[in-house]
């Protein structure tokens, strides 16, 4: 089953990857979209139900963030991955990066494992609270995680030396953090959405 043609996928993604959609990315995302639609009928992975909107909002915004990652990003944690955003599109865009998805809800973690297996990705799935992870990462990314303010210290503890916190959130929320960002870039097609990158200074 293919829900959208590869041409349609590529044209929907164009604003998020202005230098072009790399070879093979639309094919993998097409398989991901099919699984998302199938599972979303019985597990609440996303409130967005329209395939085109899923491609734009979930895949496009995640790929856009992936395109802004520091070149040296070897490991990335997607904290509170839900249906796999932004971690899975980032993994598809950057196969060389070791991506880990942390998702504490069992059904969502089962979905993520199914996507990883079906698409043949090397992504690790941590099906528990991120607080219990014993590793650290070059970048910890969070998108649409509830109580983002409270989760930021949790995320920061998981950032390794010289690493970064990446937030996909609103401009207002970034301003409320009152901390210097390396950059804050508007998300294409969004009224107030941004991608913000913060350098994390580890205490001690």
Annotated binding site for S-adenosyl-L-methionine: 80, 85, 130-131, 143
Rounded Cα gap, residues 149 and 110, in angstroms: 27
Nearer Cβ to ligand SAM, position 3 or 43?
A: 43
Nearer Cβ to ligand SAM, position 68 or 144?
A: 144
CA distances from 41 to 35, 44, 49 (A): 10, 7, 9
Which of 40, 105, 136, 173 contacts ligand SAM by CB under 6 A?
A: 105
> Per rule CB under 6 A, is residue 55 in the interface with ligand SAM?
no
Q: How far is CA 31 from the centre of its chain?
A: 17
**Number of residues engaging ligand SAM in binding (CB under 6 A):** 17
> Per rule CB under 6 A, is residue 103 in the interface with ligand SAM?
yes
Q: Tokens 């983002």 appear where?
A: 148
- Residues 195/170, Cβ–Cβ less than 8 Å: no
Which of 30, 36, 54, 82 contacts ligand SAM by CB under 6 A?
A: 82
> Per rule CB under 6 A, is residue 129 in the interface with ligand SAM?
yes
> Per rule CB under 6 A, is residue 57 in the interface with ligand SAM?
no
- Residues 152/158, Cβ–Cβ less than 8 Å: no
Non-local (6+) Cβ contacts of 52 within 8 A are: 4, 8, 12
Mark the segment that binds ligand SAM (CB under 6 A) among 15-23, 34-42, 81-89, 92-100: 81-89
Nearest residue to ligand SAM, scored by beta-carbon proximity:
82
């Amino acid at each position: 089953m293919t829900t959208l043609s590869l041409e349609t996928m590529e044209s929907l993604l164009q604003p998020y990857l202005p230098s072009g959609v790399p070879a093979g990315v639309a094919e993998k995302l097409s398989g991901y979209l099919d699984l998302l639609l199938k599972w979303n009928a019985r597990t609440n992975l996303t409130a967005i139900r329209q395939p085109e909107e899923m491609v734009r909002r979930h895949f496009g915004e995640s790929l856009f963030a992936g395109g802004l990652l520091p070149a040296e990003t070897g490991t990335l944690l997607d904290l509170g991955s839900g249906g796999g955003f932004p971690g899975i599109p980032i993994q598809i865009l950057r196969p060389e990066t070791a991506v880990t998805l942390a998702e504490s809800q069992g059904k969502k973690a089962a979905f993520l494992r199914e996507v990883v297996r079906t698409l043949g990705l090397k992504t690790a799935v941590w099906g528990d609270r991120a607080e219990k992870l014993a590793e650290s990462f070059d970048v910890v990314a969070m998108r649409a995680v509830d109580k983002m303010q409270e989760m930021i210290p949790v995320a920061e503890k998981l950032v390794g030396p010289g690493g970064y916190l990446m937030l996909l959130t609103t401009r207002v929320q970034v301003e409320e953090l009152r901390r210097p960002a390396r950059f804050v870039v508007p998300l294409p097609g969004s009224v107030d959405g941004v991608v913000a990158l913060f350098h994390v200074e580890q205490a001690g």
